[in-house]
Chains A and B, each alone.
Chain A
Amino acid sequence: MSREIILSIENVVKKFGGLYALNGINMEVEEGSIVGLIGPNGSGKTTLFNVITGFYPPEDGYIRFQGRDITRLRPYLIARAGIGRTYQVVRPFEGMTVRENVLVGGLFGRGKGDKSIKLDDWCNEALKVTDLEAKADTPSELLSFTGKRRLEIARALALRPKLLLLDEIMAGLTPTEVDESLQIIKKMRDNYGLTIIVVEHIMRAVMAVSEKIVVLSEGVKIAEGPPKKVADDPKVIDAYLGEREAS
């Protein structure tokens, strides 16, 4: 059964000075799928997220979301179109409680002006999925590291996105917490039909959750396919471990 393509990235180029951070990336994401985006440090994963969300306009190429060209839209319009994201380094709104943080996503996201769902209900739902209900009235800066990671997800979820970009939400977590995070990711996909792109360094996690893996190295896509196939791809092993010396 083929599903609709929700996001397509066509030949995207992003340069910083003379350095190609992304050099002609092509990628398609099916609606309702979970895609793992992996690659060594500096391979352009976070840059790709910033390009998709409009913070770095690309030098060349197109990004289409639900058939609509969003390449040069302002970031807030892309967010309202239905793309939510989290940050690798957690950035909660300090000076606001957990609930207020989530409320910002709800107030300005895709649900803006939609009367069919009550804002409070939706925010509670986002807090519930991420297991933050008990901490709703805590100042966000007092949350634990794990809590802040969860808050990032809850806030993005409150936008009522169609596509969620998760940037290393499991880095620095204990194995148990990693498993909980995997459950959250699956729950979000199954309950809300979200499409999710995960950038992750923990291979166990990304292999377990993704249906498709895309591997970047030095701004170029070097492999794409089901987890099993990608893990055995010699090019991927080279990128991570360096080329095997001829013996």
Chain B
Amino acid sequence: MLKNQIFAFTKLNSLTLSLIFVVIIGIIGLTSATATTGYLYAMIELMILAYSINLITGFSGYVNFGHVVYYGIGAYTLAVAVVALSNFGFMIPIPLLIILSGLVAASVALVIGFPVLRLRGDYFAIATLGINEAVRLTILNTKELGEGRGIYLFGLIPGYDIKLLFTYLIIILTAVILVSYFILKSRVGYGLRAINSDEDVAEAMGVNTSKYKLLAYALAAFFAGLAGGVVSLQFAIAFPEYFYIVRNIDMLIAMILGGAGTILGPLIGSVIYFMVKDALLITFPYFYLIIFGAILIMLVLFFPIGIVGLLNKILYKRFKRRRVLE
């Protein structure tokens, strides 16, 4: 199986297509004016988040409304670490700080996921909403974490450099795409897809469902945490707004629009979602959320298979193979 996975790099498939796209967008972002870089930067952040929620919600089918909590925890981890280290007059390299954010988010996910993943379906979705609110309110009321004002990092971290931040995000994006692909193609991937389809039957087929769900949940949290760490660097502040539920909806919709549980899906979905949302915001500054809400409802009701699912339906006629694209 591993041999097949290494072989995957040498031919045209969903993985290589995604990576080619990342390279192109990376080159454009790093060579163009900072305004363009900023635009692409926001798009790539959404992509990372869409890929990370795809690891749990797309693969195992557990709809997660509290995924943004790990983004927030990542952001706060970096901020707290920076402040604490500065108090000792000490600093560690920024990439290590970002990785720390991911690790802390994943650790929290392991602890929270253990009880919460026992719930299924709607109950899980509601519980995850609760977790996000609980963490946000705790931070709002904890003096050491800056309450509603947040934790300021001005002067403690290097100055704003969009190209450098962009590079961090490109690296994280590449990592999350690779991890998603190898998980999908591995034993774990089959286990998660089986859970997605029918958890009881998966268990009867020998799948250690709790272990795989927890693994996917923690891994998803890890990547959300990395993205959170970078956002703290970007704004030089960690504040409760990072736990804003709309960001969770954003990543969820971007993933579903592209194709849940696929490799190309979060990428395509994020690009379209981001551009349309941005264009709507400029055209209808006051009504765009209303228009957008209507589009989202239509999407979930009539287009649950996503763009990749639709493309596969078309390609099925030609190749007589399902899942031509993944």
**A: which residues have CB within 8 A of B?**
53, 55, 74-76, 79-80, 84-85, 87, 91, 93-97, 100, 103-105, 107-110, 112, 137, 139, 155, 159
Q: State the Cβ distance, B118 to closest chain A Cβ, in Å.
A: 13
Assuming A93-B193, A93-B197, A95-B193, is B205 touching A104 (CB within 8 A)?
yes
Q: 16 more A-B contacts (CB under 8 A) besides A108-B190, A108-B205?
A: A53-B204, A74-B203, A74-B208, A76-B203, A76-B207, A79-B203, A79-B206, A91-B201, A93-B194, A94-B197, A95-B193, A95-B196, A96-B194, A96-B197, A104-B207, A107-B187
Smallest Cβ-Cβ distance to A94: which chain B residue: B197
Q: State the Cβ distance, A228 to closest chain B Cβ, in Å.
A: 34
Q: State the Cβ distance, A33 to closest chain B Cβ, in Å.
A: 22
Count the B residues whose beta carbon is within 8 Å of the partner chain — how many? Answer: 20
**Is A79 a contact partner of B190 (Cβ separation < 8 A)?**
no
**Is A75 a contact partner of B190 (Cβ separation < 8 A)?**
no
Q: Which chain B positions have C-beta within 8 A of A159?
A: 205-206
Assuming A55-B200, A107-B187, is B207 touching A97 (CB within 8 A)?
no
Q: Chain B at the A interface: mostly helix, strand, loop or mixed?
A: helix
From residue 175 to 216 of chain B, which have CB atoms closer than 8 A to chain A? 187, 190-191, 193-194, 196-198, 200-209
**Is A108 a contact partner of B197 (Cβ separation < 8 A)?**
no
Asked if B322 is an interface residue, CB under 8 A from chain A, the answer is yes
Q: Which chain A positions have C-beta within 8 A of B149?
A: none
**Is A137 a contact partner of B321 (Cβ separation < 8 A)?**
yes
Q: State the Cβ distance, B322 to closest chain A Cβ, in Å.
A: 6
**Is A91 a contact partner of B190 (Cβ separation < 8 A)?**
no
B155-193 Cβ-contact flags toward A at 8 Å (1 or 0)? 000000000000000000000000000000001001101
**Is B209 a contact partner of A76 (Cβ separation < 8 A)?**
yes
Q: Which chain B positions have C-beta within 8 A of A137?
A: 321-322
**Is A96 a contact partner of B193 (Cβ separation < 8 A)?**
yes
Give the CA-CA distance A105 to B194 in the complex, in Å: 10
Assuming A95-B196, A112-B206, A137-B321, is B201 touching A107 (CB within 8 A)?
no
**Is A109 a contact partner of B206 (Cβ separation < 8 A)?**
yes
Give the CA-CA distance A175 to B198 in the complex, in Å: 30
B76-110 Cβ-contact flags toward A at 8 Å (1 or 0)? 00000000000000000000000000000000000
Give the CA-CA distance A139 to B203 in the complex, in Å: 21
Give how many A-B residue pairs fall within 8 Å (CB-CB): 74
**Is A105 a contact partner of B321 (Cβ separation < 8 A)?**
no
Q: Which chain A positions have C-beta within 8 A of B207?
A: 76, 104, 108
Give the CA-CA distance A94 to B196 in the complex, in Å: 9
Q: Which chain A positions have C-beta within 8 A of B201?
A: 87, 91, 93
Query: Which one of B200, B202, B208, B322 lies within 8 Å of A104 (CB-CB)?
Result: B202
**Is A80 a contact partner of B206 (Cβ separation < 8 A)?**
yes
The interface centre, meaning the residue of A84, A85, A103, A104 with most chain B CB atoms within 10 A of its CB, is A104
Query: Which one of A79, A94, A107 lies within 8 Å of B204 (CB-CB)?
Result: A79
Query: Which one of A76, A87, A108, A110 lies within 8 Å of B187 (CB-CB)?
Result: A108
Q: Which chain A positions have C-beta within 8 A of B196?
A: 95
21 residue pairs A–B, Cβ–Cβ below 8 Å = A53-B204, A74-B208, A76-B203, A76-B205, A76-B207, A79-B204, A80-B206, A84-B204, A91-B200, A95-B193, A95-B196, A95-B197, A103-B190, A104-B191, A104-B202, A104-B205, A105-B206, A107-B187, A109-B205, A137-B322, A159-B206
Give the CA-CA distance A110 to B190 in the complex, in Å: 16
Give the CA-CA distance A91 to B202 in the complex, in Å: 10
Assuming A55-B200, A95-B197, A104-B190, is B205 touching A155 (CB within 8 A)?
yes
Give the CA-CA distance A155 to B205 in the complex, in Å: 8
Smallest Cβ-Cβ distance to B1: which chain A residue: A119
Q: State the Cβ distance, A92 to closest chain B Cβ, in Å.
A: 8
Q: Which chain A positions have C-beta within 8 A of B202?
A: 93, 104
Q: Which chain B positions have C-beta within 8 A of A84?
A: 204
Give the CA-CA distance A80 to B207 in the complex, in Å: 9
Q: Which chain A positions have C-beta within 8 A of B190?
A: 100, 103-104, 107-108
**Is A93 a contact partner of B198 (Cβ separation < 8 A)?**
yes
Give the CA-CA distance A47 to B150 in the complex, in Å: 55
Smallest Cβ-Cβ distance to A155: which chain B residue: B205
Q: State the Cβ distance, A237 to closest chain B Cβ, in Å.
A: 34
**Is A104 a contact partner of B194 (Cβ separation < 8 A)?**
yes
B32-56 Cβ-contact flags toward A at 8 Å (1 or 0)? 0000000000000000000000000
**Is A75 a contact partner of B194 (Cβ separation < 8 A)?**
no
Q: Which chain A positions have C-beta within 8 A of B209?
A: 76
